Amino acid sequence: MNFRRKPYLTAAVSAVLTVSLLAGCGSNNASEGSTASGSPAANGDKPFKGKTLSVYIGSNSTSEYIRSQLPEFEEATGMKVDFQVFANEQLSQKLSVQMTAGSATPDVFTIRPLEETKLFEKNGWLQPLNDYASKDAAFDLADFSESSLSSATANGNLIGIPMLTEQQILYYRKDLLKEAGIEVPKTLDELKAAAEKLNDPDKGIYGFVARGQKGALVTQLSSFVFSEGGDFQNGDKATLNTPEFIKASALYVDLLKNYGPPGVLNMGWPQAMGVFAQGKAAFFTDTSTVYPNATDPDKSTIADQVGFAPFPSGSSGAKPYNITAWALSMNSQSKSKDEAWAFIQWVTGKDMVKKLQLHGTPGARTSVWNDPEGEAGFPQGYIPVIQESVKTAIGHDRPQVIKVGEARDVISEIIIKGLVGEDITAAAEKANVEFQKIIDNEKAK
């Protein structure tokens, strides 16, 4: 990587962003100077006046909020931002095409680290951000949770700054547990016992629901596996046939098969959440970010009875995933890297993360999670669960290979075979062989 940096530019940007933006006093008395060079020295407190930055970002409510705040950033820095929003798959395809061609644009873009890091990093498309972040004291990289940074790190290179994080948590029906005199499960054994006790199909109540759909189920299986001491792989060695992985898989199958609703094989998160939100399941485990579907009275019949709890402990403790779902990255071919860092710094700085969190976007900064004001955008009882989850979390929720989708299909076959009554151990042995082939093939290229 040709990694060069101009410290004086960062100092100027930091001054603009931390003084003008964070203090809310964007200057109207800028000493604008020459606009020809766009340099900080020439443009006073609008260090990038005359420059244009190209930004591609995935379509969601977060991107629209950032768009609404752009005038403030442009006023403070002097640069214009060409802000383009794409659907997720469209963005991934567009980036791949432009990066393959060696394009210098976009300068900044969002990536889904656990889906795209391996490919993008291997091809040298991502600018390492280690120096930008670690040498900028005002940015405070240490404020980000370790597991969120782990999700956005490859081969020691920080390839993106976390924007949106997700944790696997346990949702439950407060009324059902209270009526049955059951405490909120703290272990996986307690979860199974509670699901069994509350399972009453004749009354339309199932003890447990989660994803059972091919591919999709793997991310939710991951926290079961981690909490039993397993993982998908150990470096370049597939570990789907370990006792830990098989034990976790057997429990996941047991919960879905014996206490889940009919049709779980076709359930991704929307369908599984739908069962829970309609009051037909006592427990539901999935990502923390889908909670509005359970707590919004317009979408849920049990909105006032939804409880949140950390993912239960297995034999190796509670190890839910805490992953960076979206990160902001810099194009390694960008001709405007200091401008690009200024934008990344602004979006992922404490002030904007707090604003986004109030808007309902869960970020990765510990200080914001610990700030009482940061709780305003979330339901009661939700924040402590996230804070607890992050402490022992794992920074991935899927196999760490380039062909993530293919690997997820292979791994999910273990659960699907179990749900249709086949031997889980035999299925794990077969899946392990197939997953090892994927790892080996990628390593050989």
Do 28 and 58 meet the contact criterion of CB atoms below 8 Å apart?
no
pLDDT at 43: 54
Answer yes or no: do 194 and 211 share one domain: yes
41-64: average pLDDT: 84
154-167: average pLDDT: 93
CB atoms closer than 10 angstroms to residue 108: 27
Answer yes or no: do 336 and 260 share one domain: no
Q: What share of the chain is helix, strand, coil (3-state, %, to 5)?
A: 50, 15, 35
Model pLDDT for residues 357-399, shown as the tens digit of each residue: 888 888 899 999 888 887 777 888 999 999 999 999 999 999 9
For residue 37, tell me if it sits in a domain.
Answer: no
Indicate whether 3 pLDDT > 90.
no
328-344: average pLDDT: 97
For residue 93, tell me if it sits in a domain.
Answer: yes
In the numeric block, the tokens 């939100």 are attached to: 277
Q: Residue 316 corresponds to which amino acid?
A: S
157-176: average pLDDT: 96
Answer yes or no: do 239 and 298 share one domain: yes
Answer yes or no: do 183 and 295 share one domain: yes
CB atoms closer than 10 angstroms to residue 74: 17
Helix (H, G, I), strand (E, B) or coil at 302: coil
Question: Cα 416 from chain centroid?
Answer: 25
pLDDT at 45: 78
Positive or negative CA dihedral for 199, 191, 168, 315? negative
186-195: average pLDDT: 98
Helix (H, G, I), strand (E, B) or coil at 170: strand
Give 107's contacts (C-beta < 8 A, 6+ positions apart): 53, 54, 55, 330, 331, 334, 335, 336, 337, 339, 340, 343
pLDDT at 44: 58
Model pLDDT for residues 60-103, shown as the tens digit of each residue: 888 999 999 999 999 999 999 999 999 988 999 999 999 999 99
> What average pLDDT does the structure give for the chain?
89
pTM for this predicted structure: 0.84
pLDDT at 358: 87
Structure token pair of residue 376 = 């305003």
Answer yes or no: do 298 and 335 share one domain: no
Do 239 and 245 meet the contact criterion of CB atoms below 8 Å apart?
yes
Answer yes or no: do 327 and 198 share one domain: no
Q: What is the CATH number of the domain that holds 342?
A: 3.40.190.10
- The whole domain housing 231 covers 167-320+399-444
pLDDT at 230: 98
More confident residue, 42 or 203: 203
Which of 347, 372, 390 is at the close of a domain? 390
More confident residue, 6 or 179: 179
Q: How many domains, the chain?
A: 2
Q: Determine the Cα–Cα distance for residues 49 and 379; give it in Å rounded to an integer.
A: 42
Model pLDDT for residues 129-142, shown as the tens digit of each residue: 999 998 888 899 99
* Torsion from C-alpha of 263, 251, 395, 142, nearest 10 degrees: 120
45-73: average pLDDT: 93
Q: Determine the Cα–Cα distance for residues 400 and 409; give it in Å rounded to an integer.
A: 14
282-301: average pLDDT: 95
